[in-house]
Amino acid sequence: MIRSPPNSGLKERSQAGDGGIFNGRRACPDRCHRHQVVTKLAPSTVGVLAAMVVEQGSVTLAVRATPKASKTALGTVMVMPDGRSALSVRVAAPPVDGAANAALIAFFSKRLGVRRSDVTIASGEASRLKLLRISGDGERIAGRIQAMIGDG
């Protein structure tokens, strides 16, 4: 273990480079999901376009959901450790029997002004990182998503 110089901002660092730094403690060497470092950036820095794919008949949006929040609300655009971007969303419903997924679909359908049946989870039903597919005019929906991010 190598001690970092004082006032460097780093507490300790693994000599072999097998764990890196996580909140001043040595991170888990196998990089389990609890120790992944997630960078939160302002929407103007990354842009919500990095988290969505616009097609002619739909928009696919990468979302990182956090269940059991005090209220359902949008967060920021996040850059995951593997370089992918995702929009963070806090969901008030617990992750039991698909309640959080249903609340996420209801939230986006209401905020975007589309039917609930137009918002589907393309992948990630059992994980925090989800891909939402929103059917309709892709350019119009993308504009609404950007406006929604700007409003917060």
What pLDDT, on the 0 to 100 scale, is given for residue 60?
A: 93
What pLDDT, on the 0 to 100 scale, is given for residue 151?
A: 60
Give the residue, 89 or 45, on which the prediction is more confident: 89
Cβ–Cβ < 8 Å for 144, 131:
no
Cβ–Cβ < 8 Å for 59, 142:
yes
Element (H, E) at 104: helix 99-112
| Average pLDDT value for residue range 73-100 | 90
DSSP-derived 3-state class of residue 3: strand
| Average pLDDT value for residue range 18-30 | 44
Q: What are phi and psi of 72, to 5 degrees?
A: -80, 125
Model confidence, pTM: 0.68
What pLDDT, on the 0 to 100 scale, is given for residue 149?
A: 80
Domain ranges in the chain with CATH number 3.30.1200.10:
39-151
pLDDT at 148 over 50: yes
Of the pLDDT bands very low, low, confident and very high (cuts 50, 70, 90), residue 124 is very high
Residue type, 67: P
Who's near 84: CB < 8 A, 6+ residues apart?
Answer: 62
What pLDDT, on the 0 to 100 scale, is given for residue 76?
A: 86
Cβ–Cβ < 8 Å for 29, 19:
yes
pLDDT at 84 over 70: yes
pLDDT at 81 over 50: yes
Of the pLDDT bands very low, low, confident and very high (cuts 50, 70, 90), residue 79 is confident
Identify the bridge partners of residue 86 per DSSP, sorted by sequence position: 78
Percent of the chain residues past pLDDT 90, beyond the cut: 45
Who's near 73: CB < 8 A, 6+ residues apart?
Answer: 89, 90
How far is 69 from 10, CA to CA, in rounded Å?
31
Assign domain 39-151 to a CATH class: alpha beta
